[in-house]
């Protein structure tokens, strides 16, 4: 273990860690932006599909809260 660590060494290590974390943050932002764009594209495709089917609502994305009851 090096006991002759200077304040410059600590500062350099801290700056390197800050740079590493900033790079991670930037990559996360890029990935999130790509996912947001993909979601918009997919939503547009769903909207276009629904218009071609003649409806304004997307049936596949609605939650099905009704339950069918079995008739004897």
Task: Convert the pLDDT of each residue in 21-49 to its tens digit.
Answer: 999 999 999 999 999 999 999 999 999 99
CA torsion sign for 32, 38, 41, 45 is negative
pLDDT level of residue 5 (50, 70, 90 thresholds): confident
Neighbour-count burial for 62-72, b at 16+ CB within 10 Å, e otherwise: eeeeeeeeeee
What pLDDT, on a 0 to 100 scale, did the predictor assign at position 64? 54
- 44-66 pLDDT tens trace: 999 999 999 986 555 555 555 55
What pLDDT, on a 0 to 100 scale, did the predictor assign at position 68? 58
- Sequence spans of domains, the chain: 7-55
């Amino acid at each position: 273990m090096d006991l002759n660590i200077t304040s410059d060494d600590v500062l350099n290590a801290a700056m390197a860690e800050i740079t590493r974390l900033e790079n991670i943050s930037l990559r996360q932002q890029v990935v999130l932006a790509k996912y947001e764009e993909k979601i918009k594209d997919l939503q547009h495709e769903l909207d276009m599909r629904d218009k071609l089917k003649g409806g304004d609502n997307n049936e596949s994305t609605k939650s099905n809260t009704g339950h069918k009851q079995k008739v004897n």
